[in-house]
Each structure stands twice: as C-alpha cells, then as structure tokens.
Structure 1
Amino acid sequence: MTDAEQDRRSVDALLGVLALGSTGARTTEDIFTGISQPMPTGRIYGGQVLAQSLIAVERTLTAGRPVHSMHGYFLRPGDASEGLTFSVDRIHDGRSFSTRRVQAYQKGVPIFSMIASSQDEDPGVEHAATMPEGIPEPESLPSDAATAQRLHPLSRRLLTDRPVDVRHVEGSIYLSPAPQQQSSQAVWMKMRCELPDDPLIHRASLAYMSDMTIQESILRAHGVSWSLPGLKVASLDHAMWWHRAARADEWLLYVQESPNARSGRGLATGRLYTRDGMLVASVAQEVMVRVPDAANAPDAAGRAV
C-alpha cells in the first residue's frame, strides 16, 4: 500500500467513525450509536469521543446554529473494541442559543459527559489574539510519522495509523526529553487527506485534533519524554471554543502552553490558527500526570511511549 493510499484509508476510517447511526428512538433524549477506531493500546482516543459527541449534539440542532463551545469530562477509559451509545438531552432552545447535554456510554455506563452550547451567527464586537511570529513553515519540518521508525512498534502504529499529519516546531518528545522550563510548544497539524465540505465534519475534526499533543506542554515544563518508564498521563476534562470556521484538511498551527501543574494534575491551554493567522479555536484541558522518580526508574529501552 502506498503512503497516499494509507493516508486515504486512515481518513476514511475516521469519517466512518463520525458517521453516527440513529436508532430513531426518542423519549426525553435522542439516542445515537457509533463505532470506535481500532487502537494499538486498546483504549479509545479521547479526541474520538469528543468529535462523536459533537456530531450527536449537532444532529439535534436546527440548521445555522452550530456549536460554539463545549465542556466535557472523561469519566472512564473507553474500550476501542466496543461500540458506543450517545444520549443527547435537549436542555434548552432559546431565540439565539441552544444547550445540549450528551453522554457517551459503553456497557451501560457513561465514559464521557459533555455540555455544549450553540448559537445563531450574529454580528458583534470582534478581536483575536495574534499568531506567534517566526514559526517555520510545516513543509520544512519532519512529520511525526516519518520519525516513527525509532519508536517501539506499539507507539509506531499510533503515529503512522492516525489520520492527522503532525509536525512539531520544537521537535517531538517521544524519545528525547525537552529542555526543562519550557512549558510551551507549537505544532502544525492537518488531516492527511481532503475532507467533505460539510462544516460539521470540519468542526468535529478540529475537536478530534484538539486532544492531540496538548498534554506535552506540561511534560516539557519538567523535561519529561513520553518514553519515561512509569509515566502515566490521562485527560480529565476538556473545553473547547470554536471562534471561526476553518478547514481541518489545511494546515493549522496549534500553539500550546501549561500555566500550572500541581497535585498530580497539569493544566494545558491551546489556540488553533489557520496558516494565514486567523484564530480558529481555543482549548483548555486538565490532565492527570504521574511522573516516577527518574533516579529509580528502570531502563527505557524497548518500552512503549
């Protein structure tokens, strides 16, 4: 299989995951079903559930009232070998805003819970933070997948099979720890192949991408690489605000920083920009981070990242 065929296959697989089924049943909630991406780790990637939950919410909204913000909590690890059920509660529909609550279930228990707000497009005041200057072009940077051959086979598959092309401006931290006291990074990313023109697909794809690499600003602050034996990282919650429409199959710069870490938790924030500097979305995520005592850690050789 050629690289182009592999890219198309991975993106088409994601589109299949986003194509939720409708049971047609509705009592007080709307019910949808979905499949999971196969994952080498066996655990569902959090960005997948974010994207699917957004799709479920927008299936219950009137046209022209897209989601502008969401706040969600990851409650339990998801099983990538199992399907999911999504229940959407139509909490409120006003003249300009709508509010929805969605929960993702596996085996009868919720694994993710989210509240989202949507709004009609209205005129108003406008400003935006500017994109950092001096960022190298994505074509000048190596793709993460291109460096995957140095990784453990499990980690290699995570990078080569995913539908997103990711390129670290400062270099990745899969194997080598970052210089300490650098609690920020910038990452270029885009879907590997062209997506349909449906704006909902692009919003959901942005949600999918938003959970990718943002945790690394916390690790960089402490000179920790993903390959550190005993390192445990898990997303606890996730918030996202969509500011302006953009295509997820064109290069986006994800600027990330970590303002705080304490008590086994780290906070990471991010901003997504188009290549020409338009601010597309803002993200915040709190992460469980448990770093072992490096002095007593076993050899990292052959361990997955």
Structure 2
Amino acid sequence: MKSSNELLDLLELKTIDAGNFQGVSKTIGSPHVFGGQVLAQAVNAAYKTITNQRILHSLHAYFLEAGDLNVPIDFSVNEVRDGGSFSTRRVLASQNGKAIFILAASFHKEESGHDHQIEMNTSLKQPEDLLSWTEMLQQFGSVLPKITKHFLEIERPIEFKPVEVVNPLKQENLPPYSNIWFKLKTPLLNADLATKQQILTYISDYNILAAALLPHASKAHFGNTQMASLDHSMWFFRDFDYDDWMLYSIETPNASSARGFAKGNIFSRDGKLIACVAQEGLMRPMVKKTE
C-alpha cells in the first residue's frame, strides 16, 4: 500500500445492509490488524449513517481483541441519538462473531463560537532538515536491528520524519516526548472533511504509544516489550488539507502497571491545531523463560 487512493480503498467499507458494513485488512508490519485501521474503518461506518451533514468532533474507542489480518471485519452501527445539534453513534467491530473493538463517536452541526488554541513549537527542525523513515532505511538499513529494519521496509502511503531520532543501538533513557512530521506520499485531491478525518484517525495510531517507551529506552524496546493499544480518544477541531507536512507533537505523562499513557496534538504546518489524541496501551515487559 503506497498511495492515498490505496489507503482510501482500505478504509472504505462494503455495505451489507442497513447499519452493517464489512472491511478487509492490510498489515503495517505487525502480525495483527493495525489499530489505526480499525479506528478509521469504524469512523467510515459511523459516517455512513450520518445524513444531516454533521461532522465528527470526538471519538472514544476500546480495543478488545487482536484482529486477524486474514478475516474480514464486520462493523455494526447503532444510531444512538440524533438531537438538535449532535448525533451519536456506537460501532461494534467483530470477527467470526467475536467483538474485537468498540467505538463511540459524536457528530456536530456546523456552528460559530469563541476560538482559541495552544501554540505549536516553532523552534523544531523543519521537515526539509530531517530524514524520513525511508531515508533512514536506505542509509542505515545494514546496521539497524532486525525488528526495526523489518518495520521500516513495509510500504506505507504516509512518510514520517521524526524530529528526535532514537538510536536503537544506543541504550539510554530519553525525555518523555516525541515530535514527528508526516505527509501523504501522493496527493489527496478533492477530499471532503469526513474523508480527511478518517485518514487522520488512521495516522493518529502511529508513533503515539511508542513515545511511552522513551523514558525506559535503556532497557525497554519493541523486541522485549509487549505493546498493544487499549483505548484511543480523539477530538477534531478544524478543517485542514494534506498539501503540506503536518506535526504530531506527543508527550507521555505516565507509565505504570504494565500500561503506558500518551497524548498528542496534531498541527498543520502553519500552526493550526487540527486535533488532539489520547491513548493508553499495554506496555508489558517480556520475561525470559528459564530452563
């Protein structure tokens, strides 16, 4: 999967009957379904039941079971409420009749009101001064750990450029934050806001939980830590376009009880706050079995 159109095809669900839809999966390197894919497909399902031009403003989801890449995912939408200003939908995703994911989503009619936002950090390096994941693979692939090299080799429709580059060969604890520029590799033409939100939902599950490993990087990495998204919340604030780089600014306030928590702000390059994200995930140290 290399283009925006391929990503859109993945997120677009087949209609089975009223309120019931079905989707397929593609790997991003994990043996299980990528959480961002299920999130975005569930948003696609919810949007299919919105007929009053209302726009998604928040979502709250729980990942219940690891998804099987080889089995279609069934999405069932419950139209909870259509009020004067807000519409609420509940989406259940299942495989072989077993629930793997639930989503609550709220949609709001267009209204005007007060406006403010936090400022983006303008002192960060710009994308032109950074290496992308693709360029890192090309330059350092021969010395990267096998698990990192395999992850970077997966073709994606999004290019990522981390501001703070983690050296996997240098084991040291790092500050509890991460900034990543991202951009679609191919243009997304004439997309409406609903479509742009679905793609942003997909992207939002990249990088966020990994930030919770940074303060423990002297001993914890993907090879010795079981990682999985547990829940995911997202709030959408403003319209935007994918014609330039965007910044995902992440911080991780806490890790405890084999869980890590991280939150992030997504900005357009000109500093407009587009969305906020929060996620808690499993971060369980693997214990080596003794003879």
- What TM-score do the two structures reach when normalised by structure 1? 0.86
- Over 3 Å counting, the alpha-carbon distance change for 1:246 and 1:183 in structure 2 is same
CA distance in 1, matches of 2:245, 2:270: 10
One-letter amino acid of the counterpart of residue 228, structure 2 = A
2:253 to 232, 256, 259: 259
CA distance in 2, matches of 1:52, 1:178: 37
- Mark the runs of 5 or more structure 2 residues left unpaired by the alignment: none
- Over 3 Å counting, the alpha-carbon distance change for 1:71 and 1:258 in structure 2 is same
Correspondence 1:268-279 to 2 at 5 A: 268-279=262-273
- Over 3 Å counting, the alpha-carbon distance change for 1:69 and 1:228 in structure 2 is closer
- Over 3 Å counting, the alpha-carbon distance change for 1:186 and 1:225 in structure 2 is farther
Deviation at 1:283? 0.2
Equivalent in the alignment of 2:181: 188
Correspondence 1:64-213 to 2 at 5 A: 64-148=53-137, 149-150=141-142, 151=144, 155-159=148-152, 160-172=154-166, 175-176=168-169, 179-196=172-189, 197-213=191-207
Higher mean C-alpha displacement, 158-167 vs 118-127: 158-167
Deviation at 1:153? 6.0
Query: Are the counterparts in 2 of residues 40 and 158 from structure 1 also a CA contact under 8 Å?
Result: yes
Query: Are the counterparts in 2 of residues 253 and 275 from structure 1 also a CA contact under 8 Å?
Result: yes
One-letter amino acid of the counterpart of residue 108, structure 2 = Q
- Mark the runs of 5 or more structure 1 residues left unpaired by the alignment: 1-5, 298-305
CA distance in 1, matches of 2:201, 2:276: 11
- Over 3 Å counting, the alpha-carbon distance change for 1:177 and 1:46 in structure 2 is farther
- Over 3 Å counting, the alpha-carbon distance change for 1:277 and 1:40 in structure 2 is closer
Q: What secondary structure sits across from 1:48 in the alignment?
A: helix
- What TM-score do the two structures reach when normalised by structure 2? 0.90
Percent identity over paired residues: 36
One-letter amino acid of the counterpart of residue 92, structure 1 = R
One-letter amino acid of the counterpart of residue 279, structure 2 = Q
CA distance in 2, matches of 1:87, 1:239: 20
Query: Are the counterparts in 2 of residues 68 and 243 from structure 1 also a CA contact under 8 Å?
Result: yes
- Over 3 Å counting, the alpha-carbon distance change for 1:216 and 1:17 in structure 2 is same
- Over 3 Å counting, the alpha-carbon distance change for 1:154 and 1:161 in structure 2 is farther
CA distance in 2, matches of 1:64, 1:271: 26
CA distance in 2, matches of 1:187, 1:178: 21
Equivalent in the alignment of 1:240: 234
CA distance in 2, matches of 1:50, 1:262: 25
- Over 3 Å counting, the alpha-carbon distance change for 1:228 and 1:91 in structure 2 is closer
One-letter amino acid of the counterpart of residue 258, structure 2 = G
Higher mean C-alpha displacement, 218-227 vs 59-68: 218-227
CA distance in 1, matches of 2:244, 2:203: 12
CA distance in 2, matches of 1:265, 1:194: 37
Does residue 12 (structure 1) correspond to residue 5 (structure 2)? The answer is yes
Q: What secondary structure sits across from 2:114 in the alignment?
A: coil
Deviation at 1:274? 0.4
One-letter amino acid of the counterpart of residue 188, structure 2 = L
Higher mean C-alpha displacement, 269-278 vs 258-267: 258-267
Q: What secondary structure sits across from 1:47 in the alignment?
A: helix
